[in-house]
Chain A
Amino acid sequence: MEERSIEKIGHPYIPNSHPAVQKEMLKEIGVASIDELIDKVIPRELQYRGPLNLPKPLLSEYELRRHVEGILSKNRTCGDYLCFLGGGTWPHYVPAICDEIASRGEFLTAYAGEPYEDHGRWQALFEYESLMAELLDMDVVSVPIYSWGHAAGTSLRMASRITGRKEVLVVDTISPERRRIIENYLEPHVKIRWLKHDPSSGFVDLEDLKNKISEKIAAVYFENPSYLGFIEPQGKEISDIAHEKGSLVVVGVDPSSLGILEPPSHYGADIVCGELQPLGNHMNFGGGLAGFVATRDEEKFVKEIPYRIFGIAHTVVPGEYGFGDVAFERTSFMVRETPGESKEFVGTATALWGIVAGVYLALMGPRGMRELGETIVKRVRYAIHKLSQLPGVKVPKFNAPHFKEFVVDFNSTGMKVKEINEKLLKKGIIGGIDLSKNFPELGEAALYCVTEIHTREDIDRLYESLAEILEVS
């Protein structure tokens, strides 16, 4: 038998990793050794007994911590640098209470418990749904899913199932990341046709929409604010054009804008999706994402949501609330594969970050969300004002109202965004997203993001740094 030094030490994460207890348990089972037991459950010829060559373990917590911290020390954060990146993950302030609740061991380590012993989890997620419902002014919100991109894919597939139509119109200004997700997600059932934007304002080209809309179109999808930062003001017109042909309207929205911007339900959206990361979740290198899907309380819409929806009910004790799954039969947990069209799937996604988003909205309240929107719009306006004083810089590129992002056009500066960003980095600043690859028609342009965390000094520092870089060139 192989020598197992770990059993002499005893591993702190594995209580039964010591021989005395193993002996007792083996006796109960009626086998002589764990190896014998392994041979009974996995045929020997299918076992692998060679070396795995994993790194030498760091058994003490201290050694492990030193090691991991050593690697992490190579990271420079958006706190070390002054960062103007957005584009799907945004630097917002995360209230301390959000971190406190996210790190509660009970929420952190619970999973799929029943409405009884996990009552708190069910209530927290029901409240998340209910708080988002108010922000969106829509009746039904599901338990969150992986990300905005996935939620958009689902919303479009839902629209296809509801209308029985197989094509969707998607505006071509959406995030390049989301574009690739949606393309893969809709294949092979739903065909995407791309909708042009007006090159001057960035808005949906209504003429193009009118040309392409038809009774074959399940849904029209646009985003507000758009990936490129501008606010799309034609929501009502787009919805009217779509609805006239019996198409649905799906809108992707950044919820941090909804204290000041009309929710899409007010201009005709039938299904709304978006991203929860701005609501109290850290950026986490892009791992802080959680998508939401919302719709009306109509059976034909609700029945097409593939995700879990937690609903409230009464218990046998008057005044006591209980929770449960609304229309559970619609999910792939109940129906493995639907006889007709695919109704997608459900599984582990991002529940904890939904709970955090709920905490965030409860903290912010109606005034907080309004003030968040106001303060961002003011800072953005200030940033635009400052940066437009730079020689050769056009900002914003699009002649439109903006929320927290805007495109800076560097084409007349004679410098490439890549070069500018490299020079900014040397000054301790991470510049905006280089759009030259994904939006080649914009040439040398960058997407800048300003939120409530950016002070006047930060914006002035960006301005001064850019001024130096552009003048030197």
Chain B
Amino acid sequence: MGVVRLRKNFHQAKWDEPIIFEMSREGERGILVPSVDAEIERVAGDALSTIPENMRRKEKPNLPEVAQVRVLRHYLRLSQQTLGVDVNIDIGQGTCTMKYSPKINEMLVRSPKVTELHPYQPEETVQGALEIIYRLDHMLRALSGFSRFVFQPGGGSHALYTMASIIYKYHQVKGNDHKDEIITTLLSHPSDAATAKLKGFKVIDIPPDPETGLPDMEAFEAAVSERTAGMIICNPEDTEIFNPRIKEMTSLVHEVGGICAYDQANANGLLGYVRAIDLGFDLGFYNLHKTFSSPHGCGGPGLGAVGATKELESFLPVPVVDYDSSQDRYYLNYELPNTIGKVREFYGVFPVVQRAYSWLMSLGDEGVREVARIAILNNNYVMSRILKEVRGADISFPKTRYRVGQVRYSFKKLADETGVTVEDVIRRMTDFGFHLWTSHHPWIVPEPFTIEPTESYSKEDLDEYIEGLKTIAQEAYENPDKVKNAPYNGVIHRIEDMSFFEDPARWAPTWRVYLRKHRGEGVRK
């Protein structure tokens, strides 16, 4: 048995670090650019004079002047004031699959064989990169049953946009002008709705059944019509209740000629056990930066790999990577007749593709399933303990007892009984070195919080996190102000006035604006 101990003496690094502009000292240099050879100097002469006067920058940009070691120290300090997966038990950022990103995979993407590749190099010089893309495509085909994957989209939302674009183009090609509606569910990610809207569709949000938490089937059946262009949904949704009627839903949409697109952001607990194709989906994406272990990078670079059935393959963005066995050669194929074009320049975030490939290579069939098994085990263990031991915490839609890989909980009872809100708890969690998150909007579940333990944490890690929640909930009942005024041991204290971010006269999206609005200084030094 490992030791479980709440870090009551925790204190996050607190450097009281100035803004980089406040560190500026005239004359300091961070780095020098390569000097110009005498012969170039001679030939080029006053090269700037080749630029028309009206296009020459008159004053240098007002960037700070900071010596190298000071820049390094500044950013290292900022990094220490950030809680990544590498330094905390990051199970409180539900829906985001905060799993371990293996360091060997990181080391491998830092090779010049990756970083120093230009996308337009001749194909024969990038065979290794193309091979990795090709191999990962085939591995994702095996997991999903789809016929082809592309890697251009830079995140889950971008992948949703790509799928909405394919649905749009598909109906355009078919001449289905009447198909102008997309069905999604209120508990699917906000981007499922937002990206469909971007492609000009009317969006129908199916609410959850208040009892089961699953999409209201009556409302869904009523929503499906000849106007239905497609359905874009999560399954499980963020409540992580797997929808047993999902095949009925895809069938209904197919009956009216619609396309079914699968938001697989919550795929971690399903890996190897559920294939999109078996549920009736035509399109789907995997988040390589979540489910497939590529790190989240403070919000990217990510990658939403989009897969399609044989029927829709020709609509994918170009190029795709193919293999010519007669010449033993990988190549870029731009010849997809119905392609939506491009959603990003080139072929996607290659380092993310490579990390996902390495990760799958370290698992194989059994390992991939082990990921899902332990994600489910960890999640249900945490849920069982929270419901028994954390005062004031409830689960959403309690009728469904077991969940896949995460749970949306509620602190409504805690808030009602103590006045301490979930936002207060979140700030107090900081004092023990933890991070906790609410849910996407709208908050269908009141005072929500979402915990996704993934497969990356030990029982002792999970126990420590639960101990934190228990302690804070108890505090809320005994000394609510203690929780409300948190944090105490974090980097900073409570932000004084949140209206600072909403009022155009006061908001300060950049330092120069802050100086002008709040210090009465002009734009320039």
**A412 at the binding interface (Cβ < 8 Å):** no
| Contacting pair A363 B30 (CB below 8 A) | yes
With a CB–CB cut-off of 8 A, which chain B residues contact A47?
273-274
- Inter-chain pairs besides A16-B378, A74-B128, 11 sampled, C-beta below 8 Å: A17-B374, A68-B132, A107-B82, A116-B430, A117-B430, A121-B78, A285-B117, A302-B509, A324-B495, A328-B501, A380-B47
**Whole-angstrom distance between the Cβ of A292 and the nearest chain B Cβ:** 12
**A192 at the binding interface (Cβ < 8 Å):** no
**A441 at the binding interface (Cβ < 8 Å):** no
Q: Give chain A's interface residue range (CB within 8 Å of chain B).
A: 35 or more
The CA of A249 and the CA of B314, in the complex, are separated in Å by 36
Which B residues, 487 to 525, have Cβ-Cβ distances below 8 Å to chain A? 487, 490-498, 500-502, 504, 507-514
Binary per-residue interface labels of chain A (41-59) against chain B in the complex, 1 for a CB within 8 Å, 0 otherwise: 1110011110111111111
Given contacts A52-B143, A284-B351, contact A148 B370 (CB under 8 A): no
**Whole-angstrom distance between the Cβ of A229 and the nearest chain B Cβ:** 13
6 nearest CB pairs, A to B = A347-B157, A286-B346, A286-B119, A57-B364, A363-B30, A120-B81
The CA of A89 and the CA of B358, in the complex, are separated in Å by 25
Specify the chain B residue showing the minimal Cβ separation from A57. B364
With a CB–CB cut-off of 8 A, which chain B residues contact A77?
112-113, 116-117
**B93 at the binding interface (Cβ < 8 Å):** yes
**B368 at the binding interface (Cβ < 8 Å):** yes
| Contacting pair B511 A135 (CB below 8 A) | no
**Which of A107, A114, A377, A379 is in CB contact (< 8 Å) with B435?**
A114
Given contacts A112-B437, A181-B343, A362-B64, contact A30 B298 (CB under 8 A): no
| Contacting pair B65 A140 (CB below 8 A) | no
Specify the chain A residue showing the minimal Cβ separation from B111. A72
Which A residues, 140 to 165, have Cβ-Cβ distances below 8 Å to chain B? 140-141, 143-144, 146-150
With a CB–CB cut-off of 8 A, which chain B residues contact A351?
297-300
Residue pairs across A and B with Cβ atoms less than 8 A apart, 13 shown, are A48-B272, A55-B139, A76-B125, A76-B126, A89-B120, A109-B87, A110-B82, A139-B512, A185-B343, A288-B115, A297-B509, A348-B155, A368-B30
| Contacting pair B435 A283 (CB below 8 A) | no
The CA of A401 and the CA of B77, in the complex, are separated in Å by 43
Given contacts A55-B364, A379-B36, contact A42 B273 (CB under 8 A): yes
**Whole-angstrom distance between the Cβ of A39 and the nearest chain B Cβ:** 10
Binary per-residue interface labels of chain A (4-17) against chain B in the complex, 1 for a CB within 8 Å, 0 otherwise: 11110001011111
Kindly specify which of A91-99, A208-216, A465-473 makes contact with the partner chain.
A91-99
**Whole-angstrom distance between the Cβ of A359 and the nearest chain B Cβ:** 6
With a CB–CB cut-off of 8 A, which chain A residues contact B337?
none
Kindly specify which of B14-22, B215-223, B252-260 makes contact with the partner chain.
B14-22
With a CB–CB cut-off of 8 A, which chain A residues contact B365?
51-54
The CA of A433 and the CA of B117, in the complex, are separated in Å by 15
**A415 at the binding interface (Cβ < 8 Å):** no
| Contacting pair B362 A58 (CB below 8 A) | yes
Specify the chain B residue showing the minimal Cβ separation from A277. B345
**B247 at the binding interface (Cβ < 8 Å):** yes
| Contacting pair A73 B128 (CB below 8 A) | yes
**Which of B20, B50, B191, B433 is in CB contact (< 8 Å) with A401?**
B50
Given contacts A97-B71, A120-B491, A364-B63, contact A334 B441 (CB under 8 A): yes
With a CB–CB cut-off of 8 A, which chain B residues contact A126?
19, 510-511
**A193 at the binding interface (Cβ < 8 Å):** no
Given contacts A41-B404, A74-B131, A113-B435, contact A59 B345 (CB under 8 A): no
The CA of A146 and the CA of B293, in the complex, are separated in Å by 20
The CA of A314 and the CA of B517, in the complex, are separated in Å by 13
| Contacting pair A116 B492 (CB below 8 A) | yes
With a CB–CB cut-off of 8 A, which chain A residues contact B17?
123
| Contacting pair A131 B367 (CB below 8 A) | no
| Contacting pair B298 A355 (CB below 8 A) | yes
Specify the chain B residue showing the minimal Cβ separation from A338. B197
**Whole-angstrom distance between the Cβ of A73 and the nearest chain B Cβ:** 7
**B158 at the binding interface (Cβ < 8 Å):** yes
| Contacting pair B116 A134 (CB below 8 A) | no
**Whole-angstrom distance between the Cβ of A26 and the nearest chain B Cβ:** 7
| Contacting pair A233 B191 (CB below 8 A) | no
The CA of A344 and the CA of B110, in the complex, are separated in Å by 33
The CA of A28 and the CA of B378, in the complex, are separated in Å by 11
The CA of A249 and the CA of B511, in the complex, are separated in Å by 25
| Contacting pair A147 B154 (CB below 8 A) | yes
| Contacting pair B345 A175 (CB below 8 A) | yes
| Contacting pair A5 B366 (CB below 8 A) | yes
| Contacting pair B33 A345 (CB below 8 A) | no
Kindly specify which of B98-106, B305-313, B390-398, B472-480 makes contact with the partner chain.
B98-106
| Contacting pair B457 A15 (CB below 8 A) | yes
Given contacts A41-B402, A284-B350, A313-B500, contact A108 B36 (CB under 8 A): no
**Whole-angstrom distance between the Cβ of B336 and the nearest chain A Cβ:** 12
Specify the chain B residue showing the minimal Cβ separation from A93. B34
**B376 at the binding interface (Cβ < 8 Å):** yes
Which B residues, 427 to 478, have Cβ-Cβ distances below 8 Å to chain A? 427, 429-430, 433-435, 437, 440-442, 455-459, 461
**B320 at the binding interface (Cβ < 8 Å):** no
**Whole-angstrom distance between the Cβ of A253 and the nearest chain B Cβ:** 12
**Whole-angstrom distance between the Cβ of A79 and the nearest chain B Cβ:** 5
Which A residues, 378 to 403, have Cβ-Cβ distances below 8 Å to chain B? 378-382, 385, 401-402
**B421 at the binding interface (Cβ < 8 Å):** no
**Which of B37, B143, B205 is in CB contact (< 8 Å) with A336?**
B205
**Whole-angstrom distance between the Cβ of A12 and the nearest chain B Cβ:** 8
Given contacts A260-B48, A321-B19, contact A309 B509 (CB under 8 A): yes
| Contacting pair A311 B84 (CB below 8 A) | no
Kindly specify which of B206-214, B379-387, B410-418 makes contact with the partner chain.
B379-387
**A220 at the binding interface (Cβ < 8 Å):** no
The CA of A346 and the CA of B300, in the complex, are separated in Å by 12
Q: Which of A89, A258, A361, A362 has the most CB of B within 10 A?
A: A362
**B8 at the binding interface (Cβ < 8 Å):** no
The CA of A65 and the CA of B450, in the complex, are separated in Å by 35
| Contacting pair B78 A124 (CB below 8 A) | yes
With a CB–CB cut-off of 8 A, which chain A residues contact B500?
311, 313-314, 324
| Contacting pair A297 B513 (CB below 8 A) | yes
Given contacts A17-B370, A139-B513, contact A287 B350 (CB under 8 A): yes
